[in-house]
Amino acid sequence: MSPASPAIADRRSTLLWLALLAATALTWAIGEGHASGPAIAALLLAVAMAKGTVVVLDFMALARAPLLWRIVLLGWLALVCALIGLAYWKGMP
């Protein structure tokens, strides 16, 4: 490993953290704007899925973990998002 590697990793983590903050602010702004509808719900679930993927792969350091661990955690995340989407869709008038 080169001496610059930890600095690059720290910079990447910081940028990802800032992206997560921006995504959180975006979803908060959409929610406070009282926007609704299936397209908005799909957008919010997509943002949540993207945020969860970043957390699992980068902050939990599973990007280089065995494939089974990534499948389990990302599959769980996809299942939860799908069930929330299904509940929203079933509850629509």
Q: What tens digit of pLDDT does each residue of 20-36 get?
A: 999 999 999 998 988 88
The whole-model pTM stands at 0.84
Report the C-alpha gap between 77 and 50 in whole angstroms.
10
Report the distance separating Cα 2 and Cα 11, nearest Å: 15
Is the pLDDT at 18 greater than 50? The verdict is yes
pLDDT in tens, 48-77: 999 999 999 999 999 999 999 999 999 999
Residues in the chain: 93
Helix ranges, the chain (H)? 5-32, 38-54, 67-91
What's the pLDDT at 31? 87
